[in-house]
Structures are given as C-alpha cells and as structure tokens.
Amino acid sequence: MPFRTRIKEFRAKYNLTQEDLANMVKIRRETIIYLEKGKYNPSLKLAHDVATALKATINELFIFDDKEEQR
C-alpha cells in the first residue's frame, strides 16, 4: 500500500536530525531515511514509537493513499 510520511516535517518542527530521531527510537538512521521516503512500511510498534518521539499521532505522520490501491 503506497504511503507518504510527514516525519521530515515533524523533525524540522523540533529541530531534530535523522540521527537524533533514530537515537530516540533506538533504530538506525537508514531506517528513518527509508521511512521518510515511503520505502519502508513500518510495524505498528515502530510507527507508534516514531509518533511518540515526535509528539504526534500515527495518522498525522503516515498518510496512506487508498486511491492508489483501488486501481
């Protein structure tokens, strides 16, 4: 299912680097890169951890494009 994220936008809001966020969530920076590009579909736990670190909800961070799936 195609999706996009607002992780980069929320990181900027809190002046966090990809490395900062990765350290907060205890994952690799590369995972943050893939998440931001929409190339990695996170587990529910990872989505929750990232959202919590960025003081956001999962729905605010991850936008799934249902229209794309209907084609």
CATH numbers and ranges of domains, the chain: 3-61 (1.10.260.40)
**pLDDT per residue as tens digits for the range 25-63:** 999 999 999 999 988 999 999 999 999 999 999 999 998
Q: How confident is the model at residue 1 (pLDDT cuts 50, 70, 90)?
A: low
Q: How confident is the model at residue 64 (pLDDT cuts 50, 70, 90)?
A: confident
pLDDT higher for 55 or 1?
55
Average confidence (pLDDT) over 10-19:
98
> How many angstroms separate the CA atoms of 58 and 55, rounded?
10
Helix (H) or strand (E) run with residue 59 in it: helix 58-61
pLDDT higher for 68 or 58?
58
State phi, psi for 42 to the nearest 5 degrees.
-75, 155
40: left (phi over 0), alpha (psi -120 to 50) or beta: beta
